[in-house]
Structures are given as structure tokens and as C-alpha cells.
Amino acid sequence: MMRFKDKVALVTGGATGIGRAICLKLAGEGANVAVADLDLERAKQVAEEIKKLGRQAIAIHVDVTKKDQVQKMVDTVVEKFGKIDYCYNNAGVSTMNPVVDMTEEEWDFNMDVNAKGIFLCCQAEAKVLIKQGFGKIINTASMGGKHGIPFLAHYCASKYAVIGFTKSLALELAKYKINVNCFCPGLVKTEMQDREVVWEAKLRGMTPEEVRDEYIRMTPLGRLETPEDVANIAAFLASEEADFMTGQAINITGGIETN
């Protein structure tokens, strides 16, 4: 199936985890992809994987908290491909700490990347999509944007922000026929989760293996989520099948309930 033949996708945080899975999913269905990430070397590796699939790809270094770098990223994609069909704002971070021990630096780090980064990317992208008269914006939120999680208050706050921002931007861009949605993954097996289970284990007096086993028990479908599980829904949101969806925050949690 080639739902995205000759479409152009920009994916931030595209070098690893969910972002990488989205890049490869879209390329596998015909899209040309700009892989944007703070880690340029790993972004280049993903771009090479995409080229092996017979599609065009470029790797772009970007810090999504820097407006000038975000603008340069968007300009580079338009210069290379002439358009942007799908904007996946996926770059994100996490740290863990009880609120009483949390530093301002931790709070700012999560809010700057996860919330401000979404704002800066969407702002630059929306100007292009409005001018060209088409396109979709798809942001990465989290189930942590719909309910609280111990030790992740700052992260949850940033992801609540993503959902609220996405819903608001969708209303602003609807008159231009531009769709804006986000998805809310659950417990995804990524490098980020690998770090988080170590942090959580230390905070709770458990082993990382015990924490991960608890994650599996928490998930009604009985396994950890994969980046590919998320990429499948992310791709659906870009497809024509989702043309009448906007302002939505789609759960991809394996059955974990959220508010």
C-alpha cells in the first residue's frame, strides 16, 4: 500500500524510538522524509535507511527550543522538496523526580522541549501550510497528558499543554482546511523508557525488571507498546482516511484508561 506516494514528511525527534518508526512507516508507503533531530549522526542513519527503501531523505540538525533553528529546519525542507505535506512534531524529553525534590532546571527542560518546542515548530510549519494551501500537523502528546503520573508532574504538565495547544491550533487552522491532531502513546519500549525504568526503580526501591513487569500488568493487552504500534496510528492521521479529523488527541495505550 502506497498511501503517501511522493508526499513529504518532516519528523522531529526522528532519529530514535517513535520518531524513527514514523519515518520508516511513511517511507515504506511512499513518502520522502526529512529526519530532524538534535543527534544529527543518528538522524543520518535513519535517512540512509529511508534511501534504501527507494525514497528521498535528508537529515537535519535541530534544537526545537531555538526559534532560528526551527525556522531553518522548515526552510530547508521546503527548499529541498518544494513542500511539506505532513509535519510530525515528535521531539520530546523526560526526567523523573518527586515535585518536592524537582529543580527549576528539570521543570524548564521538560516544558521547553515538550511544550515550547511544539509551539515553535507548529508556528513555523503553519505559515508554510497556510501559504501552500494544504498539509497536516501531527503532534506527539502522551497518556501523561490526560492523567497524572507520580514523579512525572513536569512531564505531564508539558503533555497536557501539547493537547490543549493542538486543540486550539486545530480551530485556528480549520478555515484553511489544515488538520491538526495529536496522539497519546502509553508505555512504549524505547530508549526513553529504558532510562525511565531505571529512574523509577531507584525512586521506588525496585529493580528495573520489576518496574517493567508492572508496566506490562498495567496494560490490558498484556505487553509493552512498540514504536511501530504508535507509527501505525501516526500514519493513519496523515492518511486521507483521517481527513475529517482535527483537534483530536488519540489514545494508543493498549487499553490503559485515561481521563
pLDDT digits (tens, 9 = 90+) for 146-205: 999 999 999 999 999 999 999 999 999 999 999 999 999 999 999 999 999 999 999 999
Closest to 211 measured CA to CA, from 160, 149, 147 = 149
Quick check: is 212 in a domain?
Answer: no
Q: What is the CATH number of the domain that holds 232?
A: 3.40.50.720
* Domain total of the chain: 1
DSSP annotation of 188:
B
Is 195 inside any structural domain? no
Q: Is residue 210 part of a domain?
A: no
| 71 falls within a domain | yes
Residue 218 in domain: no
| Average pLDDT for 232-243 | 98
pLDDT at residue 115 is higher than 90: yes
Is residue 105 situated within a structural domain?
Answer: yes
Place of cell 540512509: 48
**Cα–Cα nearest to 169, from 196, 197, 136:** 136
pLDDT band at 259; cut points 50, 70, 90: confident
Q: What are phi and psi of 37, to 5 degrees?
A: -165, 160
pLDDT (mean) for 205-229 = 97
pLDDT digits (tens, 9 = 90+) for 88-112: 999 999 999 999 999 999 999 999 9
Catalytic residue among 88, 155, 160, 215: 155
**For a pLDDT cut of 70, what percent of the chain falls above it?**
100
Q: Let me know if residue 125 belongs to a domain.
A: yes
- Range of the structural domain that residue 246 is part of: 8-187+226-252
82 within domain boundaries: yes
Q: By C-alpha distance, which of 119, 117, 118, 95 is closest to 107?
A: 95
160 is catalytic: no
Cβ-contact 219, 253 below 8 angstroms: yes
Q: Tell me if 41 sits within 8 A of 59, measured CB to CB.
A: no
Which backbone phi and psi does 45 adopt, to 5 degrees?
-65, -40
